[in-house]
Amino acid sequence: MNHALPYRVSIERDADGLQLAVRTLFEESLRRHRLDELTDRISAKEAERIRADEPLREISPGYYTRAGYLLELANTLELGISFPPDCFTQADIAGMVAVKRARLEFEREHPPCPRCGERQDNPHQTKCHACSQKLRGGRS
């Protein structure tokens, strides 16, 4: 009997999947930040209900592990810490490109308030949720 093996994806080479994982981590971080802001104004039960309503992750956990590694690597490089070029694999470089694309996409969808810097829920908000600065299409 001939059994077909399941299709295997090399996570470190799947740029689209990694970009989705990084974007998901950014969105989760923003939701946690918003919930932290609310915790002193809502009950523990309501906070738990909000946590329970978190969207489920769409892809394999390995993508999020790899995305975390790539975010740490990108942040280290942004700090100006240098590494010899030969210590990076093609997969590392492609992954950091995915991080950059996910970050740009996230920043476009959640622009910061020009007054307080707080990320907005979408680029079309007319008022900052944190400081009430008047916004025009995500810009003051």
Q: Does residue 6 form part of some domain?
A: no
CA distance 58 to 17: 10
CA distance 99 to 59: 16
Residue 70 contacts residue 18 (beta carbons within 8 Å) = yes
* pLDDT, tens digit only, all 140 positions of the chain: 555 556 677 999 999 999 999 999 999 999 999 888 888 788 888 888 888 888 889 899 999 999 999 999 999 999 999 999 899 999 999 999 999 999 999 999 999 999 999 999 999 999 998 999 999 864 44
pTM: 0.84
Same domain, 20 and 78: yes
Same domain, 93 and 136: no
Residue 3's pLDDT is 57
Residue the block writes with tokens 């809502």: 42
Range of the domain at 126: 112-140
Domain count, the chain: 2
CA distance 71 to 95: 9
Residue 38's pLDDT is 83
Neighbours of 46 (CB within 10 A): 12
Residue 140's pLDDT is 47
Same domain, 68 and 90: yes
The secondary structure of residue 86, as a DSSP letter, is G
Q: Does residue 5 form part of some domain?
A: no
Q: Does residue 37 form part of some domain?
A: yes
- The rounded Cα 3 to chain-centroid distance in angstroms is 38
Residue 4's pLDDT is 57
Q: Does residue 92 form part of some domain?
A: yes
